[in-house]
Every structure is written in structure tokens, then in C-alpha cells.
């Protein structure tokens, strides 16, 4: 994940057309990469961040469509932490960096090298910078889809997730410590009307082709001055 962020930073910072800032539209995992860029670098400055089907709180579980076809995956998921939280896997397998195992939460905080830092779940040297850059956004637009067949759980796209110690009960963003204690600045955005949680009706791979998603959830936020 950090390698992908580095690539993104190089591309954005080398483009003279972006010297005055930009809007970012990111899909799926790309939304996590883009958000880390904003939090850590934000140069060029990002005015509006729009994510389509991005697991903002990570993932915990294989896609439902796969579970329906391969019932044994449910059993395997219980032991994924023993593999995904190893140093080698964290370094080279991108989704391991946002595998959010609420059944082994302490291990997640200790061994997961990307998401706990991205979401300021852990105190680190750049915690205040991360929050400052999120609070500096004019708009944060998070789009989820009721037909998404990949993200598990789908509420992650709106910063909701399973409660600690559960793989079934969902804790909405507004009830989380992340929001209430404003670890990342999401409450600041919400209180000032700059956080938008929107819904689409397309599959995970079709956000870009879905005209309704673009017209209703994206187009109104594209003007930098908006």
C-alpha cells in the first residue's frame, strides 16, 4: 500500500496542471491510497475527495458471492489473521494492509501496518498532520452501493464496521470512537456539512460505468469552488 501511495505522489506532484490543486475520484482500494496521499502529503492540495466503493474501515471476510459458492471460506476466514498479519504478507500483499480483524483486534493494531495508521487508530508521529489535512478538505464524499458484491462489510464504505469482538454486529460511523472522539477529523467535517455519505445501486466493478452514480453522487461535487 505504501508503494502505491508513493507512485501516486510522484504522478500528482510531477503534473504541472495540478499545481493549484485538484479533486480526486478514487475507486475501491484506490480510495485508501488516495486518502493516505491526502493525509501524509496533500501536495498538490486536494480540495474534494470522492471515493466509490472504498473500504474506509478495511475488510473482514471474503466477498459474499464467493462465500455462497465456497462455503469452506467461512472457516478459513477465522484463521486468516495468522497469515495476513505476518511481516512478509503485510509488506507485499496490499489487502493485508487493510484486513481489519475485529475478532483479533489487538493483533490488528499491533501487526497491521497500514489501516490503523491511516485511520489514526494508533497514535503516531503524523497523527495531527493526518487529521489537519482531512479537516482541510472542502468536501469528503463517500459512495457505497446496495448492490456491491465485493466489500465485506459494505458499511465500511461509510466508515462503519463490525464491533470489536464481533463479525456480525455493525457499528455505524456515528457510534464509533473514531467519530465521537474525532480521531481523524470526520466529526469536524460532518459538523460543518462537508461529509457526504451517499448511495449507489451498481456492482463493485461498475461504479465508473454507472451513469446515475456519476450524475447524482459525483458531478455535483466536481467544482473546486463548491
**Catalytic positions:** 28, 148, 204
CA distance 181 to 200: 29
Distance CA 147, CA 4 (A): 27
What is the 8-class DSSP label of residue 101? -
Alpha helices per DSSP H over the chain: 2-13, 29-40, 64-69, 73-77, 81-84, 87-92, 105-111, 115-118, 127-135, 177-180, 186-191, 211-217
Helix 29-40 / helix 2-13 crossing angle, nearest 10 deg: 70
Length of the chain equals 226
Alpha-carbon span 157 to 143, nearest angstrom: 7
**Full 3-state SS string of 113-146:** CCHHHHCCCCCCCCHHHHHHHHHCCCEEEEEEEC
Q: Return phi, psi of residue 103, to 5°.
A: -85, -15
Amino acid at each position: 500500500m505504501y508503494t502505491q501511495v508513493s507512485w501516486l505522489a510522484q504522478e500528482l506532484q510531477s503534473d504541472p496542471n495540478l499545481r493549484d490543486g485538484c479533486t480526486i475520484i478514487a475507486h475501491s482500494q484506490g480510495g485508501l491510497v488516495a486518502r493516505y496521499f491526502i493525509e501524509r502529503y496533500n501536495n498538490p492540495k486536494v480540495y474534494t475527495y470522492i471515493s466509490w466503493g472504498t473500504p474506509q474501515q478495511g475488510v473482514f471476510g471474503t466477498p459474499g458471492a464467493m462465500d455462497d459458492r465456497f462455503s469452506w471460506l467461512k472457516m478459513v476466514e477465522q484463521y486468516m489473521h495468522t497469515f495476513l498479519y505476518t511481516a512478509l504478507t503485510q509488506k507485499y500483499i496490499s489487502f493485508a494492509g487493510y484486513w481489519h480483524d475485529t475478532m483479533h483486534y489487538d493483533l490488528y493494531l499491533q501487526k497491521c501496518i497500514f489501516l490503523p495508521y491511516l485511520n489514526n487508530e494508533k497514535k503516531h508521529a503524523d497523527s495531527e498532520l493526518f487529521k489537519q489535512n482531512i479537516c482541510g478538505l472542502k468536501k469528503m464524499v463517500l459512495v457505497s452501493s446496495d448492490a456491491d458484491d465485493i466489500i465485506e462489510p459494505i458499511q465500511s464504505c461509510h466508515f462503519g464496521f463490525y464491533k470489536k469482538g464481533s463479525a456480525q454486529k455493525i457499528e455505524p460511523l456515528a457510534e464509533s470512537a473514531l467519530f465521537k472522539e474525532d480521531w481523524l477529523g470526520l466529526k469536524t467535517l460532518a459538523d460543518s456539512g462537508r461529509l457526504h455519505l451517499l448511495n449507489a445501486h451498481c456492482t463493485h466493478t461498475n461504479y465508473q460505468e454507472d451513469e446515475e452514480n456519476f450524475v447524482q453522487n459525483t458531478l455535483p461535487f466536481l467544482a473546486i469552488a463548491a
